[in-house]
Each structure stands twice: as structure tokens, then as C-alpha cells.
Amino acid sequence: MRVDRTSAPADGEHHTGAQVVSAHVTGVGTALPRAFDQQAVWDGYFREHFGGSRVAERIFRSVAVSRRHAVVSPLDEDLSGTSTDARMRRYEEFAPGLGHAAATAAIESAGLTPADVGQLTVVSCTGYTAPGLDTLLAASLDLPDRARRLLVGHMGCYAALPALAATADFVVAHQRPAVLLCVELTSLHLQPPTREVQQVVSHALFSDAAAAIVLRPGDAPGGLELLGTASHTDVTTRDHMTWRITDHGFRMDLSPHVPEVLGKHVGTEVEDLLAEHGLVPSDVRGWAVHPGGPRILATVERELDLPAAALEHSRHVLREHGNCSSATVLLVLDRLLSRGGLRPGDPVVAMAFGPGLTLCAALLRVT
């Protein structure tokens, strides 16, 4: 099933007579809670949690993660037996502050003030509260009372990209800047002890983060113009990645066949998106690929025939921050913009994957 395939005008693009107005990423902000060392958390907590399993230890060492972040580290507090209600209270305690810090940094980076923001889009799959996180942040950021809000929940790791498309649509339709913010607190969903390999993998990979971008209409030197987006969902493999609410938080299940399924679709989807703009993969100068794990990155590299250094920024984010669900692709994009050596006109592809199985991609161009 293919949805959200761009046509003329593209996502984030509006024609006014002979003039084409598009949405541009002009500011990025991130906020990370305290870091912990992967080996230290294995030695100090997970070795006992997984009953001294050698398989679990090998997994912790093989996921290419050195450090992660947590609002609640298992070295300080064991949440594995805590109720979902208690975890949601912790979400309400930590998520607003982390989100506020990232959004404020993005707004300042774009040279704007909260009064300029026409819409706040908030993405999160790790917590629920009402009033929602969007409302809490609209208050703490002192956004205008008439600023629109959009809350995108429980889509998982790929959610930043459909949220990007929706936010860009607002920007071009209303000619107002908007903020897209992803806040994920996976540390709140530590599960009870188990020997299940899928649970070991998720506990070895996932991390906490908040990341935000500002989109505004018109050109912005040094920014990124959104040219189009694409999405592909293989519903026949919908059981390969699940994120279910249980009495003890949210439980992630990951099939080892996820990279194999993505490998069937990533080449065609990316090549089709690029072809709509007269491009091929070798034309792309920057890749911001969600580092769901080392096998995911290896699959993308192989299927698109990318050079060895193409996914360097994704691997750095995986190594230093882990998999932060929807926020991760924005962390990669931030590093790519600050260290990627990009020049005006360079094409950039952002890509993320999640439940469905769903693959989302966005094509951008450096301005």
C-alpha cells in the first residue's frame, strides 16, 4: 500500500500565480537527559535483570550503542514492576521540560520568538496525558492563544516525517512559521524480567530525547527546503513491529525479519521519490537515516549502494544516543546540518521506519 506520494505541487509547496512558495527548515533544537554508559548499565542492572544470559550480553554488545539517555536510569530506579498509571505520571513530570528546552532552542536558532509561531506539532508515542503535551507546551512556551496545535501519537519511530509533511502544509497554506517537536521517553517503559530476545534487543537500543525543528515559508540561506515526501506500508508484515500498552507500561516487540522486509522496499521508494525531481541516489549529498539498529543501516546502505561514509551521522547518533524513536531522525538531521559540509543546492534525504511496517522518506534541498 502506497500513500502520501508527492505530486505537483509537492508537499510543503504552494503555487501563487507564477510564484512557488515552499516550507523551509530554518532552526533545529535538541534536549537530552542524563547519559549512561551501555556497559555500565549492563553490569549494574541488566545482567541480573536478564538472569546472566550470555545471549543478552552479546546483544548489548552488538547493537553498536556506547551511550544512551534516560529521564529515569535503571541504575537509579527500577521501573520494571511499576504500573502504567505511575509511568504516565512520570511522563507528565519529565516530558514538558525536555520538550520546552528543545522547542525553545529551535525557535531561537531560527531567529524567531514564540509570538511568531503559528502552529505547534508535537510527536510522541511514549506517553499520554490530557490536557496533552501540546497544550502544556503551548502554555510554557507562551505561544499565541490562536496558535494551532497538532498532536501525533503512537506512530512510532517514523512519525517525525509524516508530521513534517503535515506541518509544512500548514506553513505554506497559512504563510506562518511552525514548530515540529518530537519527545520520546522510552526509559519509562522498562519491562519485567524476561529471556525473550526481542525484549533484550529493545532494552539494549532505546533511549530518551527531544528534538525540534522550525519550518517557515520562503527562502532561508543555510536551511532546507522540503521538496516532497513518500510513505510505504507493508500491511502483510504488521506484526513484525508492535508497541502495545500493557499493565506495566508499553511493550515493544521487534521481529528479526524487519531489515529483510525494509530491504524489499527501500530501494524502490527512495528511487521513485528522487526520480520525481530528476535525481538518483548518487546525486544525494546528505543522508539522515533513522538508525533503528546496525542491521537497518546496513540494509539501507546495501540496497541504495551507498558509499561507506554516507551513513556516518546515523551511526554516530546510534553510538552516542541510541534509538530515540521519533526524535532520532531529527538528531541525525541536526548533526548532518552542523557537520555535513553541505552546500546550497545539495539534495538531502531523511528516512525513518516503524510499525506497519512503514517506511517514510523526505527529500530536501539545502538553501
CB 227 within 8 Å of CB 177? no
Q: Do 329 and 359 form a contact (C-beta atoms < 8 A)?
A: no
Active site residues: 157
Cis peptide leading into residue 177 (ω within 30°): no
349 CA to centre of own chain:
14
Interatomic CA distance for residues 287 and 345, integer angstroms: 15
3-class SS string, the chain: CEECCCCCCCCCEEEECCEEEEEEEEEEEEECCCEEEHHHHHHHHHHHHCCCCHHHHHHHHHCCCCEEECCCCCCCCCCCCCCHHHHHHHHHHHHHHHHHHHHHHHHHHCCCCHHHCCEEEEEECCCCCCCCHHHHHHHHCCCCCCCEEEEEECCCCCCHHHHHHHHHHHHHHHCCCEEEEEEEEHHHHCCCCCCCHHHHHHHHHECEEEEEEEEEECCCCCCEEEEEEEEEECHHHCCCEEEEEECCEEEEEECCCHHHHHHHHHHHHHHHHHHCCCCCHHHCCEEEECCCCHHHHHHHHHHCCCCCCCCHHHHHHHHHHCECHHHHHHHHHHHHHHHCCCCCCCEEEEEEEECCCEEEEEEEEEC
Give CA–CA dist 281/273, Å, rounded. 10
